[in-house]
Amino acid sequence: MKANMCWTMLVLAGFLLLAGCQQQVVHASHIRSDTFSTTIHLPDVHPRAGDRFVVETALVNHSERAYEIHHGAPLIFIEIEADNWSDTEPKVNLVLDIEAVIEPHEEYDPDTENFINGMRTLKLDEPGRYLIRATAHFSVWNPATGRSEGFAIHSEAVRIDVR
């Protein structure tokens, strides 16, 4: 009798575990991985050491619907790597909750507006070859789970040669 009860409990526990796993699959991300992309463009890929150069970035919504996103400041981080560095430059994020609606096919760039001259610029003091990439960090509400889903969307790296 005790053995039958034990087997029944084990089988029931197995079914509950299997049902829990299946439930997680149902509540997987409601946003496809190709819905958003981060772009980076450098009009001048051969700047001189010590001179400022423009970096243009945007978060692009490739879908046919609008999404309400939440993000800190900046939305898009710029990461710089050099051949002789062991790590990328540190990133600083202000703890804010900025809410925005990104319309279908919109290129959203809230960061550039925050710079005094209306442009995002960088300056590298040493000549050399660098890789620059942009990463957008934001979250979108998932009604299926009742929670926010965080995203980190990386751009392709752009190589520049600082003279």
Are residues 110 and 70 in contact, defined by beta-carbon separation less than 8 angstroms? Answer: no
Specify whether 97 is located in the same domain as 143.
Answer: yes
Domain of residue 14: give its range: 1-30
Specify whether 51 is located in the same domain as 106.
Answer: yes
Predicted confidence at residue 138, as pLDDT, reads 94
Number of domains in the chain: 2
Specify whether 94 is located in the same domain as 151.
Answer: yes
Predicted confidence at residue 91, as pLDDT, reads 52
Specify whether 85 is located in the same domain as 20.
Answer: no
Specify whether 16 is located in the same domain as 74.
Answer: no
Predicted confidence at residue 87, as pLDDT, reads 60
Specify whether 153 is located in the same domain as 118.
Answer: yes
Specify whether 105 is located in the same domain as 136.
Answer: yes
Cα–Cα distance, 45 to 131 (Å, whole number)? 11
**Burial grade of 57 (CB within 10 A; 0-12, 13-18, 19 or more):** buried
Predicted confidence at residue 116, as pLDDT, reads 55
Predicted confidence at residue 88, as pLDDT, reads 56
pTM (two decimals): 0.70
Predicted confidence at residue 152, as pLDDT, reads 93
Specify whether 122 is located in the same domain as 142.
Answer: yes
Specify whether 67 is located in the same domain as 17.
Answer: no
Are residues 108 and 151 in contact, defined by beta-carbon separation less than 8 angstroms? Answer: no
* 156 CA to centre of own chain: 12
pLDDT averaged over 10-residue windows placed end to end, the chain, 163 residues = 45 39 38 90 88 91 92 87 65 61 87 64 88 92 84 93 91
Specify whether 4 is located in the same domain as 58.
Answer: no
